[in-house]
Structure 1
Amino acid sequence: MISSVDHLIIAVKDLDQAKNDYEKFLVKTLLERKTHRTGTKMPYLILRNILRAFSPCDAGPGTEFINSLLAEKGDHLAGIVLGTQNIEHAQEDLNRNGHSVEISWGEAINEKDRKIRRGKKFFFTKYS
């Protein structure tokens, strides 16, 4: 069902400050910066997996979600994104075990070259 840790999500209020802090801490330059259509933006650094810092944009369901996390806990590790070879089978297994998840499409735009990355996803939270 689950085959990998895809990336860690860190909720941050100030994306530029977080980018500078993580570059100093990791002694690397973050590779790309993307904006999700749902209302979040992020830079990321490719290690073996990806570390992503999310901050709210002006609008969108992602903006509301990140703002609620920041209001509750401030900057923090907000999630772990897992990878799977077959998202439909993972959904079936989770639903069968009492966790309600629905698959949706995600989309992010690279702010430098404007390339769009799309993929299937579902949110699995403590409330699912």
Structure 2
Amino acid sequence: MPEKPSNGLSQMTEVTSVDHIIIAVRDLKEAEKNYTAIFGRDPSWKGVHPGVGTGNVLYRLANTYVELYAPVAEGANADALKAHLDEKGEGLYGIVLGVADAAAATAAFRARGLKSGDPVDGKGRDEITGAIREWRTIAMPKDEVRGLFMLGIQHLSPADALPPAPLSEGVREAEAVSACDHVVVMTPDAEGCRALFGDKLGIRLALDHTKPEWGVRQLFFRVGGLTIEVVEPLDKAKAPKAEHFWGLAWKAENVGAVRDRLAAAGRDVSEVKPGRKEGTAVATIKPPTNGIPTILVGPL
């Protein structure tokens, strides 16, 4: 199949960003230690979800924030998360798509055939400062989004209610992760994902290409400075039975500096090598990554 860049036509979209990425973990303290080391940054927020039994640790990066999400008490959300962890283990749980107006986005999604739920208000409390953040979410039933966990979110609190994740002590900016470059979705059906992310959610398809030498078809949806990369193996025997979120690529302005910091701290990380995309450098961060295939990517 030839490469298919965006067709250049105007495309209305209610989705303005990948607001945050959710990582399901069993032990928040251990996961916090792990991701503070990977990012070279301390958390922006340590929160609880009153009444539903879950807690989180958040890291706000340049283009999204990362939520480490765990069951911490009794509650409906904690029960659902425990069941997920028992079945699938730790890993990339889902993504939350930012919208400016939850009511308008819900109407638009429904008009395009996505049967999303009604907007629901929620809030969280920071255990460090006692600060409260409020939001409005749009549920997306899994049978409407190919089995993936996704929500829409409109933040009701000011943007600075969640501060940027500060550098950890002794870490220079060049040695820290700055943003998320891309999220990887594995699929047995790229066309189905094209219909979901492009037609129903209205996210721009920047590139659709097939690479026989890599054995894959890849679709790249871009929004808010972050890419959702959909990968379909060409060998059906290697394709997953259903869609699932799989891997993460963290952006670094100096991949070598981040790699060296991690190696000096005793982390298992590969040497830096040229990336598949021209002009990029990559390094693989090996476990522990809470079940997520993970790379660093930045300019060569």
Match for residue 127 of structure 1? 143
The 5 A counterparts of 1:1-128 are: 1-37=14-50, 38-48=52-62, 49-96=64-111, 97-128=113-144
SS of 2:142's equivalent? coil
Superposed CA RMSD in Å reads 1.3
Distance 1:92 1:29, change over 3 A: same
Deviation at 1:102, TM superposition (A): 2.0
**Aligned letter for 2:20?**
H
Contact between 1:94 and 1:101, CA under 8 Å: does it hold in 2?
no
Q: Determine helix, strand or coil for the equivalent of 1:114.
A: coil
The number of residue pairs the alignment matches comes to: 128
Query: Relative to 1, partners in 2 of residues 1:125 and 1:10: Cα closer, same or farther, differing over 3 Å?
Result: farther
Task: Give the match for residue 213 of structure 2.
Answer: none
**Cα displacement string for residues 48-96 of structure 1 (whole angstroms, at most 9, x for unaligned residues):** 1100010002112211121121112111111101101111111112223
Amino acid across the alignment from 2:70: S
Distance 1:24 1:63 in 2: 26
- Residues 44 and 51, structure 1, Cα contact 8 Å, conserved in 2: yes
Please list every run of 5 or more consecutive structure 1 residues that lacks an aligned counterpart in the other structure: none
Partner Cα distance (2:105, 2:53) in 1: 26
> Any stretches of 5+ residues in structure 2 without a counterpart?
1-13, 145-300
Q: Tell whether the 8 Å contact from 2:116 to 2:139 is kept in structure 1 after alignment.
A: no
Task: State how far apart, in whole Å, the 1-side matches of 2:141 and 2:40 are.
Answer: 32
Deviations 1:13-68 (A, max 9, x none): 11111000111111111122010122211111111110001000211221112112
Larger relative contact order (Cα-Cα within 8 Å, sequence gap ≥ 6): 1
**Structure 2: how far apart are the matches of 1:100 and 1:72?**
25
* CA–CA separation in structure 2 for the residues paired with 1:72 and 1:90: 32
Question: Residue type matched to 2:130 in 1?
Answer: R
Q: Look up the SS of the partner of 1:53 in the other structure.
A: strand
Distance 1:127 1:41 in 2: 26
Distance 1:85 1:72 in 2: 34
When you count helix as a share of all residues, which structure comes out higher? 1
Q: Is the contact between residue 15 and residue 99 of structure 2 (CA under 8 Å) also seen in structure 1?
A: yes
Q: Which protein has the larger Cα radius of gyration, Structure 1 or Structure 2?
A: 2
Q: Aligned pair in 2 of structure 1 residues 68, 102: CA closer, same or farther (>3 Å)? A: farther
What percentage of residue pairs aligned between the two structures are identical? Answer: 27
